[in-house]
């Protein structure tokens, strides 16, 4: 009987070959989007969608469902893949930012809003999930 490669030097049954190790996983992120119809005050926001188009289309549908128009819901948009998106509002000011870290996106949106208003508050924040592809 032959000795299997990488074996212990003991005789082995040829039917006892080990399966190769699985490939290393790869990683990706899902997509998120915010859309706003400024003229109607309607909003749509989604996260964890498979594609950028899927995220945008779902956010627009949500915005339209909240009273916006298909055209108007494209007046302000933000899409992101890795990390988080944040919306901050103040009096007559709206800021949307995305970043790998929610805290960084929030700080950027707050800084932009605070440059024009004193009453800025986080309206919503969404983060996309990390996906392990095997």
Give yes or no for residue 12 having a pLDDT over 80: no
Confidence of residue 129 (pLDDT cuts 50, 70, 90): confident
pLDDT digits (tens, 9 = 90+) for 85-111: 999 999 999 999 999 999 999 999 999
Q: Tell me how many domains the chain contains.
A: 1
Please check whether residue 90 lies inside any domain of the structure. Answer: yes
**Quick check: is 133 in a domain?**
no
CB contact set of 46 (below 8 Å; sequence gap of 6+): 32, 33, 55, 58, 59, 62, 126
Is residue 20 in some structural domain? Answer: no
Say how far apart CA 123 and CA 126 lie, in whole Å.
11
* Structural contact between residues 92 and 117, judged by C-beta atoms closer than 8 angstroms: yes
- Tokens for 25, please give them: 């996983």
- Average pLDDT on 43-51 reads 94
The secondary structure of residue 26, as a DSSP letter, is E
Structural domain span for residue 63: 29-128
């Amino acid at each position: 009987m032959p000795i299997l490669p990488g074996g212990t030097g003991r005789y082995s049954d040829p039917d006892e070959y080990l399966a190769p190790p699985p490939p290393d996983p790869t990683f990706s992120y899902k997509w998120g989007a915010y859309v706003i119809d400024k003229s109607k005050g309607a909003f749509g926001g989604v996260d964890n969608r498979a594609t950028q188009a899927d995220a945008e289309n779902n956010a627009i549908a949500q915005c339209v469902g909240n009273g916006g128009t298909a055209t108007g819901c494209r007046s302000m948009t933000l899409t992101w893949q890795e990390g988080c998106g944040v919306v901050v509002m103040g009096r007559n000011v709206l800021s949307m930012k995305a970043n790998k870290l929610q805290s960084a996106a929030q700080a950027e949106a707050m800084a932009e809003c605070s440059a024009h208003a004193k009453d800025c508050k986080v309206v919503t924040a969404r983060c996309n999930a990390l996906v392990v592809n095997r």
